[in-house]
A and B are shown apart, each in its own frame.
Chain A
Amino acid sequence: MKNIVLFCAAGMSTSLLVNKMKAAAAENGLEYEIAAHPLSEADTYGPEADIILLGPQVKYKLKETQDQFPDKPVEAINMQDYGMMNGANVIKRVKEVLGD
């Protein structure tokens, strides 16, 4: 079971994407735990993540978050995948990074 954590400004719009990602993961038979939180709660939810994804609204915090979790993959979600709620694409990318 891998833990995927998404961070955005308020944790609201990203939850739409989370549902699509969950569906895509289930289709591919991947055991992923996926959740979205506001970036202000990175201290709480960051440490338990296997990979951290940032919504495009908080992309400017990418470097800061990478510095905060130097031993974890931290990436910004592709803006158009985010906008079109393309959960499958995001899962594909996660799979690549985690090497599943």
Chain B
Amino acid sequence: MKEEKTNKFMTFMEEKFLPLAGKLGSQRHLLALRDGVVMMMPLLIIGAFSMIIAEFPVQAFLDFMANTFGENWNAFEGIIMHATYGIAAIIACYGVTSSLVKSYGIDGTPAGVIGISALMTVVVPSLLLDGEEVVEAWIAGSLDATLLFTAMLVALITGEIYRRMVQKNITIKLPDSVPPAVSAQFTALIPGITIIILFTIIRLLFAKTVWGGFPEFISDVISTPLRHAGTSYFGTLIACLMEHLLWSFGLHGSAIVIFPIFEPLWLINMSENISAGARNIVTFTFYENGVWIGGSGATLAVVLYMLLFAKSKLLKNVGKIGIAPGIFNINEPVTFGLPIVLNPTLMIPYILAPIAAMTVQYLGTAIGLFPLCNNMVPWTCPILISGFLTTGSIMGVVAQLCGLAAAFIVWLPFIRAYDDKCYKEELESEEK
């Protein structure tokens, strides 16, 4: 009876839920957000390294550098941060616009360029006093990820208008004798003019509202409430639950839920921590380096168990194959080899273990025991190293160890039971 129910649930998931989730995962605008936002990652990682070196947590190193190169030896940090984190929104806007337009089979580069221009049109510069004169200026660093939502929205609108006009041939046509590289620039002209006029109107309209500007409006009405809900403990719990539920049915939950929806929120949190001294616990690296310990499902714990304690051949083998990619947080051998996917026994810890790892680190950070995860590190960075790099503190390593331990405790009874079952089956098939 119970088994029948499980089967019914599995069939329902496979027939109804998976195609729906799959559609969401291949939705054009979400894909454009994912592919576009990711373009700023190299810059953020470079910026993070400048921060780690300039604020290295070893006093002897800092003293040595100051004595050798003078008091201002770490001035490069500000320069590099402004040039990397400080322009993140511009890059994301270019990336999302060009990815979206490209997905329609149209050259995305000219559209991306117009996207940048459209973003700069709606961002209201600050007024500064230059001697006696009041001047307008975009302050270094002000185009960082805190503008990400505005950038994403501007990019989606720009991309849609651009591709519609190109598809409907509302463009300037030059005779065939003109080289394509030249005529391509003219293709962008009419869509470009339309888009910039539109955003100029938006800018002027929003200047009359209580918010004073379009980005301020987006921040107040959309991004801040969404971010506070999405990056609260419960928001993160839901992210974790959704991601792993999808994965346990074999779908790329991280690509469907995490990359397009939660990553932008975490990036803004991170930027706010760095530039405004905020204390957002849930950031990009808090989740991607602290929860994906060994990959989604915190499966490093499983790989370690299999390597050290497994009795069955299957688990021993998966452990051997899984450890090398597992160190870099890649776990396809485990999820599909054991398998975890569509395996009711292992789906449960696969969903619960990352939640446990997340909860332990969240609580530890909330009471001030663990430092904030503010530096960008790629998710493939091995744990412990990533814990140090993202926090610049040895306590970041301790936090990850606690997360790993929590995941291990959740996994233990399930993986042990599964090992026993596989071992028995192997013995029986050998007897035959």
A binding-site residues for B, Cβ under 8 Å: 9-10, 13, 16, 39-40, 56-61, 79-80, 82-85
Contact = CB atoms under 8 A, between A and B. Distances in A.
Q: Which of B22, B334, B336, B342 has the most CB of A within 10 A?
A: B336
Interface residues of B, number: 26
A57 B339 contact: no
B33 interface: no
A57 B338 contact: no
B381 interface: no
Interface string B263-307: 000000000000000000000000000000000000000000000
Residue from the set B22, B251, B321, B332 with the largest chain A CB neighbour count within 10 Å: B332
B341 A40 contact: no
B413 interface: no
What secondary structure prevails in chain B residues at the interface with A? Answer: helix
Nearest to B330: A13
A80 B339 contact: yes
A84 B25 contact: no
A13 B341 CA distance: 16
A20 to B, nearest CB: 11
Interface of B: 14, 18-19, 22, 25-26, 31, 250-252, 255, 317-318, 321, 325, 330, 332-339, 341-342
Given A60-B251, A84-B336, 11 more contacts: A10-B252, A10-B255, A13-B330, A57-B250, A60-B19, A61-B22, A79-B250, A80-B339, A83-B333, A84-B318, A85-B333
B338 A56 contact: no
Contacts of A39: 26
Contact of B25 (A9, A13, A16, A82): A9
A83 B22 contact: no
Nearest to A39: B26
B379 to A, nearest CB: 12
B309 to A, nearest CB: 20
A59 B317 CA distance: 25
A58 B256 CA distance: 12
Contacts of B25: 9
Contacts of B31: 40
Contacts of B339: 79-80, 83
A80 B26 contact: no
Given A13-B330, A83-B335, A56 B252 contact: no
A68 to B, nearest CB: 14
B415 to A, nearest CB: 15
A61 B252 CA distance: 13
